[in-house]
Amino acid sequence: MNDGQKQFFQFIMERTESSNEAAMKELLENAFEQQKNGTFEQKDMMAMVPKMVAFLREDAREEVMAIVKEYGSQHVDK
């Protein structure tokens, strides 16, 4: 993981329901691997977001989605 990914990972994990931490970690690591390989596309992001939302604490969802939109626009291969 690069520094930006580490920051994003930590931010998301701090807002994830404890019972969903393993699933969120796997989801994020898969996305980071795709980014590294240059294969992370818009369709991947669109498939990932509903899963992420389901793993988050309810009180953190709005905040996280704002960051995801910003991060996604910079790290998705169109």
| pLDDT of res. 63 | 93
pLDDT in tens, 8-21: 899 999 999 999 99
Q: Is the model's pLDDT at 77 over the cut of 60?
A: no
pLDDT of amino acid 74: 63
Summarised one tens digit per residue, pLDDT across range 28-76 is 999 999 989 989 888 888 899 999 999 999 999 999 988 888 776 665 5
Long-range contacts of range 35-44, CB-CB < 8 Å, 24 or more positions apart? 35/5, 35/75, 38/77, 39/77, 40/75, 40/76, 40/77, 41/76, 41/77, 41/78, 42/76, 42/78, 44/76
Which pTM was predicted? 0.85
Parse the chain into domains and list their residue ranges.
3-75
Q: Which long-range contacts (CB under 8 A, 24 or more apart) does 64-72 make?
A: 64/11, 64/12, 64/15, 67/8, 67/11, 71/8, 72/45
Q: What is the pLDDT of residue 69?
A: 80
